[in-house]
Structure formats: structure tokens, C-alpha cells
Structure 1
Amino acid sequence: MRVINLFLCLLLAGWLPASAQNKHAWKEATSGGYTYRYVTGDPMQARFYTLKNGLTVILSVNKKDPRIQTLVGVRAGSNSDPKDHTGLAHYLEHLLFKGTQQYGSLDWAREKPYLDNIEQLYDTYNQTTDTDRRKAIYRQIDSVSGLAAKYAIANEYDKMMTGMGAQGTNAHTWVEETVYEEDIPSTAVDKFLAVQAERFKDPVFRIFHTELEAVYEEKNRGLDNDGRKMYETMLATLFPTHNYGQQSTIGTVEHLKNPSLKAIRQFYNEYYVPNNMAIVFAGDFDPDYVIKRIDEQFSYMRSRAVNEYKAPVEAPIKAPIVKEVFGPDAENVNIAFRMPGALDTKNAVILTVVSQVLSNGKAGLLDLNLNKQQKVLGAGASLLPWKDYTVFALSGRARQGQSLDEVKDLLLAQLDILRKGQFDEGLITAIVNNFKLYEVQGLESNGNRANSLMDGFIKHKGNNWLYDVAYIEDMSKVSKKDIVDFANKYLVNNYVLLYKRKGEDKNIVKVEKPPITPVEVNRNAQSPFLKTVADMPETAVKPQWLDYDKDIRKGKVGNADLLYVQNKDNGLFRLYYRFNMGNWGNKKLSLAAQYLQYLGTDKYSSEEISKQFYNIACSFNVSVASEETTISISGLQENFDKAVELFDHLINNCKANEEVLAGMKNRLQKARADSKLNKGQIMSGLRSYATYGPQNPFNNQLSNDELNAITATELVDLLHSLPGYQHTVIYYGPEALESATAHIQQLHRQPAAFKPVEKGKQFEKVQQTASKVYFADYDMVQAEVNWVRNGNVYDPASTAVVNLFNNYFGGGMGSIVFQTIRESKALAYSTYAYYAAPNKRTDRYAVLAYVGSQADKMNEAIAGMNELLTVIPESEKAFETARSSMKKDIETERITQDGIIFSYLSAKKLGLDEDIRKSVYESIDKLSFSDVKKLHAENIAGKPYSYCILASEKKVNLDDLKKYGDVQKVSLEEIFGY
């Protein structure tokens, strides 16, 4: 059963030997008047229905929280795009959020003629090659689109979903699938199904040209992403004839410039049919009620023969094919193989084990031979398991002074070890044990359940669930000989070798900005359909508050305070040692934490320690934050004593190793250099610079000289001393308090008296007195802009209005900011703005806003956001939706497991002694728009801001930025502190 996580879900397909068939089998049952299939021994207890029209419905009940993860999936993605309209499936995904004749429109009869005209204009535009003529046609499209938009209600789908308490409204398109995602309250089933049934009945492709521009922005973001360029080059080379490599999901620049609404409609009519679709529910619901309601709502659908993509057989790769990709980000190397696809279930499960033998994060060949020994900066393995073929890839990054060819040779050497069978066969048993752990963990998540079930539908129409349920047993049947034979057959000289090199990409052709006039969004309008959905009855869900005095049991483990919550669900434990000391107080702590993973003791080598933890399906981690350090140990409770004792032995007896430290310093120097090439890291540092000033948490780093001066003994002494500092012990697991306390006290050594934790360095947010621009140069197509403004000191009484403001103003796709910047003005693919609350009582709020746009639209984007930061638009309907959503979120939120303890610790840090959600919930109905407007006026409007701008100097005029404030070009050394 694939419930580990989405990535591992995608990895696994089953092969069922005779023994597994005896334990698991397809059975039929009838309940509530509907017959369904299920697999015996399935811990998810999934029900598989096929309705009369061919629609697949898959239901998995999980009563943990009063919420349901829903997925509506179509077995068609970019593989199915017409050759002359690539990106079409992805376009369609975007348009399925625009409404139908029943919602999203003020007056469908008046809107329709304009939309028909737009469709015809796009058809003419698509067939026109003359540049001037195309510009003239686009001006017509823009003009008619403005008229059509007067009758459109932007984001009405999002408003309906938000109003019923949905979360995570989204969708994705990939090579073989398009999936629409919602997480809904258990009480919203009828509302959800009413909206979805209407949504897929007759979608209207309105507000098209601004949405098209959002896709342009998405394409340009990809052009700035070296990882995406590597991915697309890899697929194009591995698959010279198959659509996996010949049709990217987002489409070519040329096809993006020439969309056809008629072709999109034809795609919808062909593939969005019930026998090619599935609805998946995972969560708290009555399956008999849900299947009946789905049948009633979707019975209008009519099945139709689907012309599935017929995959060509790729010619074997007989010698390495070498490709290079250039860009500003750090260099790396990838070795990719074309493997049998997920439909070859026997080889699929063997390949899963092969992948884990090579890289499982702890005890694989890459983990121990390369990462643990610091022979590279980092190495790993990954799988992309599609129906026809699977992509298996090794990746590596070079240390300082190491070439990519040296990394390549080290990666290939691990494959040679695999082919020769030079690994411990006991590793297979350990892999199976860890997958048992992942399975138990995965069952807790509705998202994992739903994604696993949907993945099975996309690949096999759900017919492989028998194999999925049995896959851990299947893995245990894989022998060392199976692995060696597989490696010698499939992992030889038949690969694509990709080098990601630093340098200018001269092949980038960005999608140019078309002239777009902002369109109406009609914020205050709502369709009769929305009102009908909103008025549908639903049973209220009572919110549940934490009582920290009752929900957490407290005790002592020696001198340490113990916080305890019992796990009554399964046999997993999580143990934490939490210290009130972090990087702000000691910059060497993070370095020591990293060092520990490479150290051995007088009894065990570092490799042996990793193997021991992996063999007992347990793990440890040392995490150093700004003001806290947390040691965590987790795994199967049956191995609790072994895991805790082993970690205690390690941290108290780890031995200094100068050679290991020298290797780590080399890797850190290279990692630091690579961070300076990463735009995400640069922007994070620029924001910290604007928030705290030149000395800030981001650049609170050891200088290169300080790093080089550190000795192994210094770090080991710090590790040995760590358990001697005052700390809190946290236990979440199945063991009773008394026995857990005794066990921990026996295994976790402590001194007679703790050393007090000294107050570390503090960073204070600066007060902006005048607007200023902080600029960093980066070679990219887009420009990214962050607004930063520090506000008042934390006030718990403001929590309700702050949360409501964020819901209304800039927190999602139905927010004012998203509607204005993206839907109306088409200035960005991604944008947000919110008033961020601090995480400690003495800290201050901060205004954070963001727009990522094409460089030639940056000034328009800044102006658009500044308008919203100056004057908050008022929409009674949007405000009521935000308030309703906020209430439903709190009503259906359940803080459980060790989350209870961490909620308590967060509250303490804010000076609170009770669950603040209770007072927030009781305040919601008392709040009005005037409260939100007051917050905006007092904390956001008319204030000076720090503008953090990351862009290419070739595409942005620095003198042009002076209109926003004094411009300071911030160097990478100032940003990173080294």
C-alpha cells in the first residue's frame, strides 16, 4: 500500500508472488445499495466503485480529523497534448477554475457573444504569421476581453471553496495526469459535490488572456530554474520519440504564443469523460452516503471512447549520451537511465529495492561510501515511475576543488559495486523494515492516502491496488541475486550524462509581455449558484480547544522537565531533548550538529552507527534554530531502548577526527559558494538584511577565517557538553508515563546539576523611517520584489483581526491581492501580502509582500502592489467569505500527537498559558471590515517600506528604482556574511 509520502508513492508498484496472493485478494461487497471492490488486508480499507457511466470512485475512511482530502483526476496530461498545441492540458487545468454558465458570470447571455468572439479571434491569431497583423488581432482580443470581463466574476470558484472551509485549493498537470485538489471540512460534502459536478459539466473559458499571461509567467519562471532545464534536457535525451521527452507539460514558447480555445475545448470533450476520471476521498465521512451523492451529482456524465496515447518503443541507448546545461546556479552532474515502466510490476518493485540499496538517506551505497565519507558535496538517487518507462537517476555535487567528472566517476563506481553484489544482503531486510515504518506513518495523512489511490488510478485505473497493498511483502521476496541481475541488465553504459555548468544560457527565449489592459474582477458580485451553495444545510462542527494542563502530562526525568502525550494510535515514538540555546548564542552549534553525523566512537565507526539506526528502523536528528536546539530520536517503540541508548552513546563518546573536519570544511566552503549562486538563498538574505540591518540572523555566520580556525576537539567538546545544559525532555509514544519516565532516565545520562543556558545574541528588527531599495544582481529572466516593513510589538489581543486581515487581503487565490495583481492586471504568476505575527512575545509584527514578474513588468507590478498597500479595496462579499473560512478552519482543526506539546511551547514563547484559538474564534463574529481597514491604515498604508529587488542589471534600470527610495546595491558578501 502506497502511503509513505507522495514521492515514495510514485516509486512503488507491486509484483505479487504466490504467498502474497494467499493473504491479499480482491473481494466484492455491497453496502448502501452500491457494490464495491476491496483488497483483503488493506490497512486503508479502500473501497473501489465503478459507476454506471464508468466513473471511478475510491474511498478511504480515516476518522482522525473532521476533514477530507479530495482529488478529482483525469488520465490525461501533456502526453495527450496535440503535437501542434503543447501545453494544452496545462492551460485547461487553469481554465477549470474560471467557472461555468451558472457561476463566474453576472449575465451569461450577455457575456457569451463576447467569449465567442474571443474564441474566434484566437483562432485567427493562431493562424496568422504577419507580425503587425498579429499585434492588431491581439489588440482586438484585449479590447473584447475587457468587455467580456465586465460580466465575469473573477475567482468565484475560489470564493465558494473558501466559503465552505476548503484548504489547499489547487491542481497540477503532469505527463499522464491532471488532478484537482481540495481539502474540505467533513460537513461540506454536499456543497463540494454540487460545485464539482457543475464545474466539470460545461466549463466556460473566460478571463482567458490574463490567465494566459499567468502561464507565460510560469514559463519564464521555469526559464530561470536551472533544475527545470536539467529535467527537460534529461527527458528530451532519454526519450527522443516518446512524448515524455518531446512535449513539456507547460509547452513550448511558440505554442504558448499561439493558443487555441477550440483545441482546448476539443481536448476537454475527448478526455474529461467519466470512464477516464476518478474521484478520491480520504478522511472522515460516511462512505455509503458519499457514494450515493457522487452518483446523483455525476450521473449526467456520459462515457465515451478515449483515444489513449500509444507509446512508441524507444531504441536502446547503447553508449553514454552527454549533454550540458548552462545557467547561474551551482554546478552538478546527473546520470539518468531509461528503465521499465510501472506497468512492468515485477521489475518496478525490484527497481524500488535497487534504488534504496543505492540511496535511502542512511545506509545505502551512496549514503555510506560517498556522503558519509564526504567524497562529494552531496549524492543521491531518484525515480520517476511513469506507465511506459521509469527514469532512474543518480545525482552529485562537487566538493571544493573537485571536477564534475570526478563526481561522475564516483557515482558510476557505486553502480559497479552494485553490479558485483558487494553489499550486505541484510540491507534488503532493513529496507523492508523501514518501509513498514513509512507505511504506518503514511496512514496518518489523508493527503498520502488520497495521492496513493489516485496514483494507482492514473497508472492502472486502480486495478493494481492488490499489488500495492502487498508491495512490502513483495520487496521482502527480492533477493540479492535479483538486484545484481537487474543492475547488470539495466544499469550499464545505457545512460544520459548531464552536466549542469555555470555560465550564460544562450538558448533562452522568453515569452514576451503582450499589451494587456486590466480587466474587471467584480469583487462584490456573486452568482445565484454561489448563494444556493452557501445556503445548503450543513451540520456544525464544534471546535476543540487544547487544555494544556489536561492534555499534557508533566513529570521529571532526573533534573529535566518531562512533557508527555501518549500515542494511542500505533507503535511509533518520538523523543526530543529541547535546549533554549541556538545559533544566535553560539554560531558553532550548527557546525557541531553537522559534524556529529560523520563521527564514530571508541566502540563504533560512523558507518556502523548509521547502519544500526537503519536496521532498527529508527533515526536521530540534531536541529539548531536561532534560539533553540532540538535533538530528536524516532522510530518503532519496540526498538526505543536500542535507539536512545545508541544516540546517548554517540553524543557522549564521539571522538574528534581532524580528517573528517577537514573534509567537512571543504564541503562547507563549496556549499557556501553554491549558496551565493542560488536566487532563493540570495533573496532570503536580502530580506533579512532589510528586516534587521547589516548584522542579521541570515549573515550571523562564522567567517571563513573563523571556520578554518575551528578544531575537531573544540566541536567534540561542545557536543559532549550539550546534554549537560538545562533542557526539556518530550516524549510522544505508546508507553505509559511511568515506564517511559523510567526508561528515559535509565538511558539518557544527565549530570547532577545542569549548566545554565546563557542568554545569546539578540537581533532586533529595524524601524524603517524612509523607503529604501535593496538591490541584488542575478542573471535571470524575471524580477522578484519583496516589500518589508516592521510593525508594532506582539499583542495577543490583535490575533483575530490580524488573521482575518490576512485571509481577506493577501493570503490565497481568492484574496484581494491575488485578484488584483494576477487576475485583473496579469502582472505576476505568484503574489501575496500579509501581516506576519512574531513567534515570541518581545518581537514585532512585519508586513511582507511579494511579486515575481517578468522584468519588463516590474514597475507595473510594484505600482500595483503599492496601490493595494496604500488603499485597501472594500468588498463585503470577500470579507464575509474570509470570515467564514476562518471560522471553519478553526472548527475543523485538530491539534494532536506531539503537536499538542509544540503548541504549548509556542504559546509559552508568546507569553500565553492557554490555547489562543478559543479567544480568536469567539472574536470572529464581532469583527467588521472597519477593524480590518483600521489595521491596514495604522500599520500598512502610507508607511515607508524596504524594497528587496532581485533582478538582472541587464534587464532593470537601477536609476529607475530611485523613485521608490534610495537605492543600495547589496553585495553577496554583505548578504551572506562571508
Structure 2
Amino acid sequence: MIRSAVMSLAFAAALALPPAAAATAASPPAAPAAPASSGDSAGGALRPSEFTLPNGLQVVVVPDRRSPVVTHMVYYKVGSADEPPGKSGIAHFLEHLMFKGTEKNPSGRFSKMLATIGGQENAFTTSDYTGYFQRVPREYLGEVMAFEADRMTGLVLTDANVLPERDVVLEEYNMRVANSPDARMGEQVAAALYLNHPYGRPVIGWRGEIEKLDRADALAFYRTFYGPNNAVLVVTGDVDPAEVRRLAEATYGKLPARGDLTVRKRPQEPPPAAVRQVTLDDPRVAQPSLNRSYLVPSYATAKRGDAEALDVLAQILGSGPNSRLYQRLVVEKRIATGAGAWYQGSALDATRLGVYARPTPEVALPELEKATDAVIDEIITGGVAADELERAKTRMIADAVYAQDNQASMARWYGTALATGSTVQDVLSWPERVRAVTAEQVRDAARVWLDKRRSATGYLIKSPPTGEEKRS
């Protein structure tokens, strides 16, 4: 089932997993990246246009004439961090249930239409937003918009279709979390890092609460958060902005705004005061690992330039085989089989910068942690070299340019930005802001934010199989 494979990197990040541990199919980028801000005369991506319908729906259109297809994506500004207490997993559960149909279009009709025309569909849930998207030949855009607008406010649920889908979600939990020591470790690290903020609970939910979710819970959440004035529509591909506006007005524009949409007001984290450590032992562990998350600002919460510096810091520290962590731990010391870092910059509230490493068989985790801390201290005390800084920034900007070849990536840039407090202009100006990051800013970011008192560290170790006694 399509929805079972949906959460990919966004789900992994919510569990504090390193990106290398997950697929990347339907995930937003870790930070806003942007195409060029001017048109491509060769027929590539053009500067986006944006408008807002009277009912509050925000619309972004990114023309791309290179192939006669379009990507249509709807973001709702609601995710797992907006769930009521005791109802963890309801945002993701509702994502599944959105495919159950409406009175006008019963279950299966939308998917059957897409299959008939050779289209694709999927959905994803994160802590801050929920997205639904389709990729279709350009002549079917109006039809897709009509279907998606219909289920924005017309979802019909019964116990007959809700309860079996809850079993599907529980099986997804078993497959992706319960049977994965890495995912369980990430879940525990996130819970340890966030003492008060709902980012500390997993996107998929806690199993004991998932088991109790029902039709009433799903409809209450749906009626609270789903509506045109809490959504962003992004259309990329072989389209004309004026035509998209006409189609949007004829479909989404007919929907009334929901007057009772809840303001996103979440409890925030207190100032970190203590180092936190979590150890998980599991007989299924194939290889021990060290997994640390630091509490840091996101693009939405940081002072100007701080998030960009953190982005560059993560690139230098742990992105790829030329990064500091990989070179020191894997290549030079040969005490790790893998190491890296990541920054989940696209978040509405305070987010995470993570580092991870996997030791070689003869190396203990304390030795690996000490070496990892030494690499971080190198940057805090000695900073970064000019050529190292330029390589990192060039790579980040180049990756953003190359990603223009994927319509879904472009749609995710803008949808993610608008769903987490940024703007289209923020996306467009991202390359220039990254170019402006200095070596001093990177060192300051490491010094201020990579303080172990702001962190939670997880140690994943192998334990004897159940039933075997541990020998001292």
C-alpha cells in the first residue's frame, strides 16, 4: 500500500536517525534550497508566482516546460506536534484515512483515475505538516485539483474503513519502529532531547495511543485543521500561472474557509541544563552506533544568518566522505565504518543538528564518542579553513541547482517553506545567504550550539538473545 512507505527521511529525522539510514522518496529537504531566481531561456524552471484565494488558500506556481507533466502538491499546516495530548499518531493516521473517499468520490475512485492516466500519488506526515501529491500529464491537472479539493472538506469516514486502517498503521509501526533497533534508538533520543516540546514524540505515535485512535478522533482532528485557510497548494511543471489560478478558483475557491482553525501554539523547551544519555541494548543490533542530537534553532526561529551557519557547519562536519567526521574517524583513525552529521533546518520550532558514527568491531563506543567530540572541538577551537568553507557552500548550492530537474523537489521546497513560517522569497534568497556565511559564523555556531548540555546521546548496543543470561 502506498501510504505504508510514506514517511522516509522526514520520519527518520523525527526519530533522530541519520539520513543514511532511510530512503528519501517523499521527503522534504533538510533546509530550504532554491532554484535560480530568474527564468531559464532553455525551457527550465522559471521564477515562481504566488497568490492567495479569498478563502485563504496560498498558491505557488513554478512553471517548468521541460516535459508535459505537472506535480500537484497540497500541504496542510499541521503535523504530529499539533496533536492533542494522548492522541499521538492522529496526524499520520488521518493521512492514511484521507484516501477513504468522499460522498462524491467514494473510496478508490481518485486512485483508479490516477492509475488509468499513468499518474502517481503519495503522501507524507512530519512533525509540522502533512502533504499529499500527484504527478500527472498536464491535461489532467484540473481533474486532480477537483478530487483533492473535494477531500479537503468532504471526507467520509466509517468504523468499517477506519478500524482496518488503524491495523495497517500498527503494522507500519511494527515494521518501521518495533522491528528496527535504529528506529527505536532514534525514538528514545528525541524523547530525551525534548523535555517539554511535542517534537519529543514520534510522528507515527506511541503504540499504546495509536491502538486507541478511532473515527471520532480522526474527524475531530480533520475538522480542526483541514481547510483552505490552513493549506498551501504548490503546482510545478508544464503550467501557466494564469491557468492554475483559474483552475484553483473553480475548485478550491468554492470551499468556505474554516473559521475555527486552531492557532499553532505549542509548549516550548526550557533552557537545556544537563547532558542526557540513553542506552538501548537489543539482540537484533547488527552494529553498535553512537547517535547524538543537539537542540538548535531552525530557519523559522534563528536570528538571520544563524540557521545558514548551522547548515554549512553540518555540511563541513559530516556530509559525505570529505567531511571532518568521516575523514578523521573512518579514513585516518579507522575506528568507524561510517560517520556523519545532519541539520533538520525546516521546522517551525527549535530543531536538531545530529551527529552519528558506527564503530569498527574492535572499538568501544566510549572511545568512538571521545574521538567524535575531538572532531567537534577542532572546529570550536580552530575554526574551518577558507577552502573547506568554500567547498561546502559550493556543494550545497550546486545540489540545489541540480535538484531543479525534479518537479517534486521544487514543490517540496516551497511547500515546506510556507508550512514552516518561511516565504517564497526566503527560498529564492537561500543561495545568496549561504554564500554569505563566513568561517567565523561557522565556528561561532559550533561554539554556541554544539554544547553537550544541549544534547541527548544514544548508545545502541547488541545484547544477548532473549533467554540467555548475561555473564559478567
Distance in 2 (alpha carbons) for counterparts of 1:349 and 1:505: 45
Letter of the structure 2 residue corresponding to residue 9 of structure 1:
P
What residue is the counterpart of 1:251 in the other structure? 205
Q: Could you say which structure has the larger radius of gyration?
A: 1
> Which blocks of at least 5 consecutive residues in structure 2 are unaligned?
1-23, 39-43, 468-472
User: CA 1:251–1:313 in 2, change beyond 3 Å: closer, same or farther?
Assistant: closer
Match runs of 1:103-114 below 5 Å: 103-104=105-106
Question: Helix, strand or coil: the match of 1:199?
Answer: helix
Question: Helix, strand or coil: the match of 1:496?
Answer: strand
Query: Post-superposition shift, 1:415?
Result: 0.7
2:456 to 496, 501, 520: 496
Query: Post-superposition shift, 1:281?
Result: 0.9
What residue is the counterpart of 1:10 in the other structure? 30
Distance in 2 (alpha carbons) for counterparts of 1:192 and 1:5: 21
Query: Post-superposition shift, 1:180?
Result: 0.6
Question: Helix, strand or coil: the match of 1:292?
Answer: helix
Letter of the structure 2 residue corresponding to residue 101 of structure 1:
E
2:174 to 209, 220, 227: 220
Query: Post-superposition shift, 1:57?
Result: 0.9
> Which blocks of at least 5 consecutive residues in structure 1 are unaligned?
15-22, 26-41, 105-153, 507-778, 780-978
Distance in 2 (alpha carbons) for counterparts of 1:75 and 1:505: 44
What residue is the counterpart of 1:161 in the other structure? 114
Distance in 2 (alpha carbons) for counterparts of 1:88 and 1:459: 20
2:133 to 168, 175, 181: 181
Distance in 2 (alpha carbons) for counterparts of 1:5 and 1:210: 25
CA deviation profile, 1:609-664 (whole Å, cap 9, x unmatched): xxxxxxxxxxxxxxxxxxxxxxxxxxxxxxxxxxxxxxxxxxxxxxxxxxxxxxxx
Contact 1:324 1:501 in 2 (8 A): yes
Match runs of 1:451-470 below 5 Å: 451-460=412-421, 463-470=422-429
CA deviation profile, 1:91-142 (whole Å, cap 9, x unmatched): 11111101111222xxxxxxxxxxxxxxxxxxxxxxxxxxxxxxxxxxxxxx
Query: Post-superposition shift, 1:409?
Result: 0.9
CA deviation profile, 1:510-540 (whole Å, cap 9, x unmatched): xxxxxxxxxxxxxxxxxxxxxxxxxxxxxxx
Contact 2:163 2:214 in 1 (8 A): no
Contact 1:51 1:295 in 2 (8 A): yes
Distance in 2 (alpha carbons) for counterparts of 1:449 and 1:465: 11
Letter of the structure 1 residue corresponding to residue 277 of structure 2:
V
What residue is the counterpart of 1:368 in the other structure? 327
What residue is the counterpart of 1:309 in the other structure? 264
Contact 2:414 2:427 in 1 (8 A): no
Distance in 2 (alpha carbons) for counterparts of 1:466 and 1:53: 23
What residue is the counterpart of 1:190 in the other structure? 142
Contact 2:393 2:434 in 1 (8 A): yes
What residue is the counterpart of 2:184 in the other structure? 229
User: CA 1:464–1:226 in 2, change beyond 3 Å: closer, same or farther?
Assistant: same
1:383 equivalent to 2:348? Answer no
Question: Helix, strand or coil: the match of 2:452?
Answer: coil
Question: Helix, strand or coil: the match of 1:11?
Answer: coil
Query: Post-superposition shift, 1:472?
Result: 2.0
Question: Helix, strand or coil: the match of 1:377?
Answer: strand
1:238 to 175, 189, 193: 193
Report the TM-score, using the length of structure 1 for normalisation: 0.42
Match runs of 1:136-175 below 5 Å: 155-167=108-120, 169-175=121-127
Distance in 1 (alpha carbons) for counterparts of 2:199 and 2:278: 17
Contact 2:342 2:355 in 1 (8 A): yes
Question: Helix, strand or coil: the match of 1:353?
Answer: helix
CA deviation profile, 1:296-315 (whole Å, cap 9, x unmatched): 11123222253233233312
CA deviation profile, 1:745-780 (whole Å, cap 9, x unmatched): xxxxxxxxxxxxxxxxxxxxxxxxxxxxxxxxxx9x
What residue is the counterpart of 1:200 in the other structure? 152
What residue is the counterpart of 1:436 in the other structure? 397
- Tell me the matched-pair count: 427
Distance in 2 (alpha carbons) for counterparts of 1:498 and 1:382: 16
Distance in 2 (alpha carbons) for counterparts of 1:360 and 1:211: 38
What residue is the counterpart of 1:901 in the other structure? none
Contact 1:342 1:390 in 2 (8 A): no
Query: Post-superposition shift, 1:355?
Result: 0.7
Report the TM-score, using the length of structure 2 for normalisation: 0.85
Distance in 2 (alpha carbons) for counterparts of 1:387 and 1:296: 31
Query: Post-superposition shift, 1:287?
Result: 2.0
What residue is the counterpart of 2:21 in the other structure? none
1:338 to 295, 298, 313: 295
1:282 to 227, 236, 253: 236
User: CA 1:480–1:325 in 2, change beyond 3 Å: closer, same or farther?
Assistant: same
Query: Post-superposition shift, 1:171?
Result: 0.9
- Farther off after superposition, 489-498 or 49-58: 489-498
What residue is the counterpart of 2:91 in the other structure? 89
Query: Post-superposition shift, 1:252?
Result: 2.1
Distance in 2 (alpha carbons) for counterparts of 1:256 and 1:388: 24
Contact 1:164 1:191 in 2 (8 A): no
Query: Post-superposition shift, 1:5?
Result: 10
**Identity level (%):** 23
User: CA 1:165–1:43 in 2, change beyond 3 Å: closer, same or farther?
Assistant: closer
Letter of the structure 2 residue corresponding to residue 388 of structure 1:
D
Distance in 2 (alpha carbons) for counterparts of 1:102 and 1:183: 22
